[in-house]
Structure formats: structure tokens, C-alpha cells
Amino acid sequence: MTVSESRARISLAEVLLLVSVFLIAACGLAYELAAGALASYLLGDSVLQFSTVIGSYLFALGIGAWLSRFIERQLVAVFLRVELLVGVLGGLLPMGLFAAHSLMPLGHEGPFRVLLYALVLLVGSLVGLEIPLVMRILKQHASGERGSLRELVAQVLTFDYLGALLVALAFPLLLVPHLGLVRTGLFFGLINLAVACWALWLFRQELRRWAAHAAACAASIVLLCGAWAASEALTDWAEQRFYGEPLVLRASSPYQRVVVTEGRTGVKLYLNGNLQFHERDEYRYHEALVHPALAAHGAPRRVLVLGGGDGLAIREILRYPGVESVTLVELDESITRLAQGPLLSRLNQSALRHPKVQVVHADAYRWLETQPQPGGFDVVIADFPDPSNHALGKLYSTSFYQRVLEHLSASGILVVQSTSPLIARRSFWTVVDTLEAVGLSTTPYHALVPSFGEWGFVMASHRPWKAPPQLPSGLRFLTPKSLPQMMQFPPDMDRVPGGINRLSDPVLVTHFLEEWGKAH
């Protein structure tokens, strides 16, 4: 081999190793994000789950880096084996966790948490080994100035952070919506195995037992490809066990996992595993949400619905012939797309296709900030998911309600779904306290929805609420006689100090997680 050929070969080795750093970093962050997303989906409280998963993973990276000091010989062989282990374990991580959770008895999540953090620590430790090994291999193959510690650290960390940036953007925007969590994990596992394969080729003259390493690479690829082929069937099986009813529709958006089931008692919609409605009794919830406010207003013309992309609240709003326009602001386009499909259109009576309805896909908080014509809505219905994390908690804050007020007419009424006053008593009254803190007169009330239990709502306006003399015809639950009874709270749901929910002090999220955690 000539000197020029040797330099070319060394240059190729350096380039490929730096590319491998880029890919290794991308894969490592992907496994971390997949574990955090899966933990949030299955266990709830995204802030807590992501914080603990990321903290554990970073700790494991440090363990791996520390362990690398004990590896003194056969660096390439060790690196290749580590890549194979990371590819297989990391690639199968979401699939394994998803399957394990479906086998756990309902309410017994302790063993699943142990498995989750054990796998996070194991994969994180292996990933922590990779970069120190690559740097030492690069030092062996780089010459002159390129082999200095200064150059090595600069090059390796640059490619490391670039890989992490790419995945941080692609994971929520491209990969999970199109592949789902399980196949996203397998995709990055195959990338790790590709790095192992080109290390096998690049250092074929240095590796002992090359054939054994090649066989391990081939077996690992076959394993992950087989898992890819079986992933949809396994996901179906796991979700079937989790929900206990036939799955009709499933989708993963950048914001949540959407599942629709249809059993003997009707259609159910779940977001991140949490029930949003049950066909059997959703009319109770939506009649209670909509009609006390619209009927009391008397002549609502413009109505704003924040959240509620399933169209069921809009179905009730359209009972009022005087309503001229309904604006729906829904963050997740997959929900409104689902609501316009044949299954949910049957339930919402094709409400989202009605000519009076305008659908806007936007964050409600930001949308209110950007609207140029304040004070135009007669009724605003805030039908958000429960405040189970800080992202949702801001939609129940004083800042949010002040923005709503800017778009409410002088005689307008705001109604907020406000979780269960029986199970989450302090949470419910915190919503009331927060609305009163922005200067509104409140009317809290509750209704029995069998799928949810006792459920709470709060109306808020500039003047006290007055019971309407009549309601639209055709209602299945509400009557003029039952409305005043809904405003009465028994001792176990009566008012308690809650506090004011602010962006700077999200007490509602704390109360909600504590109260529902005890209930579960």
C-alpha cells in the first residue's frame, strides 16, 4: 500500500467514524425521547415522566463514560458489540415496554416502572460507552494535528450535537406521526446496526473472529426486521388488551395518541389512554356543557369552542337556529379529521361540515392573542382535557381567562369543563377561584355522567347567571326543572379553598395530580 493510499484510507476511516458519531447521537436521543413519550402516554404527567426519564438517561450516560476507562484492548471489537447491543435493546425498547404494560394488572404499575427505568439505565449506559470508544478509535487512526485531543473533542462533540438536533426536530414532527413510537424505535435500532455493519467493513483487517461478528450483525438485522413486520400486530394486541374492546381507529399525532374503540356499549374515544367520551352517555356531558350557557344567554349569534374537536359540543350548539357562526379552535388536526369521518360523523351529526362552522387548527392560547376583533363572541365554551400537565394547566390560568374576556361580548358567557368535584374537589374549586380572580361572576354546577362519575362545569360572566325558562326540544338529559338542582352541591363536593391558578404558580396541576393519583 502506498503512502497516498494509506492516507486516503485513514481519511475515509475518520470521515466514517465522524458520521457514525452523528448517527449514534441521533439514535441515543431517539431512545431517550421514545422512553419519555411512552412513559407519558402510559403513566400520565408528561413533565414528571420526561424529567425522570431524561435524568436517569443522563446519569446512565455518565456511568457508560466512566466504564469506558476499563476497556483497554480490542476497541473496535468492543465498539461493534456495543453498537449491536444498543441497536437491539434500543430498537426494541418501545415495543417491549408497550407489550409489558399491557400485561400488567390495571392499577399495578410498580413492576412496569422498574422495568422502564432498568431499560433506560441499561441503554443509556451502553450509549455512554459509544462516544469515548469512538474518540479513542479516532485517535488511533488520525494522524498529525487531527489526532490531537483538541481536534478530536471539537469534531466529535460537533457531530454529536448536530445528530441530537436533527432527531429533536424530526422525532415529534415527522417520525412519530408517520411511523408511531414502536416503529420509530425500530428505525433507529436499524441505524445503530448500520453503524455496526460499516464498522465491520471498515475495520475488517483489524477484527478478530470477523465471521462471528458478521453473523451477529446479520442476526440482529433479521431480528429487528422481523419485529418491524410484526409491530402492527403486536401494537394491535397490546392496545386490545389495554382497552379491552375492539379497536376501530388509531392515530399518532405530534400531540397525542388517538384511539377509538367500538364495543357492545358503543363508541369510545381515548386520548393518550384517557377516556374522552362514551357513546352511551356522552349526550349527558355535552348537554350539560352547552345548554345552561346558550339557553341562558337567550340570543347567542357567535359561539367560540376551544378544544372539543370531536364535534359533539357543536352538535348541541347547532340546535339554536339563531346561531350565525361557530368557530372551533382545535390544536390537533387528527381529531377534527377523525370527527369528519363516517364513525364520529354519525355521533356529531356531521357538525364540522355544517356551513355555519369554521374549523381552525391552532393553539387556543396563541390564537386568542392574535385575533384582531375582541369582544365578539356571545358564548365561549372551553372544552379542554383535564389539567394533567403544565401545557394543559395554562389553559385554566388567569392569563388565559383574561384573553378569553377580551373576546367575550358584554353579555357573553364563558363555560369551562372543570373535572370532577367529587374526586378532584380542590381542583374543581380552584377553577372557580381562578375565574373569580379575573373579575367574573361564577356559577358552578355538576352532572352525573356514568362513564366519568360526577362531573363539574363552571359558567362565568359579567353578571349573575339566571336559569333559562326553556331549553331546546329533543334533549335527552337536561330539563328546565333539573337545571337548578345541578347548581346544588352536597357536603362532599361543597366549596373548599383551592387557590388561583397562574402561569407562574400552576397550583391546579398540583391539585389535580394529587387528587386523581389518590383516586387511582
Rounded distance, CA 508 to CA 432, Å?
Answer: 11
Please tell me whether residue 252 adopts helix, strand or coil conformation: strand
Quick one: which of 387, 445, 372 has its CA closest to 415? 445
Which CA distances in Å does 384 have to 65, 148, 203, 276, 428? Answer: 44, 56, 56, 10, 14
Which CA distances in Å does 226 have to 113, 183, 231, 451? Answer: 27, 12, 8, 40
- 470 labeled part of a ligand binding site: no
Rounded distance, CA 92 to CA 291, Å?
Answer: 49
- 494 labeled part of a ligand binding site: no
Rounded distance, CA 139 to CA 152, Å?
Answer: 7
Quick one: which of 310, 467, 289, 511 has its CA closest to 379? 289
Which CA distances in Å does 44 have to 20, 39, 333? Answer: 35, 7, 22
45, 281, 332, 383: the catalytic one is: 383
- 256 labeled part of a ligand binding site: yes
Rounded distance, CA 22 to CA 160, Å?
Answer: 5
Spatial neighbors of 377 by CB under 8 A, at least 6 apart, are 302, 303, 304, 327, 407, 408, 409, 412
Give residue 477's identity as a one-letter amino acid code. Answer: F
DSSP state string for 12-31: HHHHHHHHHHHHHHHHHHHH
Grid cell of 175 as nine digits: 417520525
Spatial neighbors of 233 by CB under 8 A, at least 6 apart, are none
- 286 labeled part of a ligand binding site: yes
Quick one: which of 323, 289, 295, 294 has its CA closest to 308? 289
Estimate the share of the chain in helix, then strand, then coil, as percent rounded to the nearest 5. Answer: 60, 15, 25
The reply to whether 492 belongs to the active site is no
Which CA distances in Å does 310 have to 107, 255, 260, 336, 444? Answer: 28, 15, 12, 6, 24
Annotated binding-site positions = 256, 286, 310, 330, 363-364
Annotated binding-site positions for S-methyl-5'-thioadenosine = 256, 330, 363-364
Q: Which residues are known catalytic residues? A: 383
Annotated binding-site positions for spermidine = 286, 310
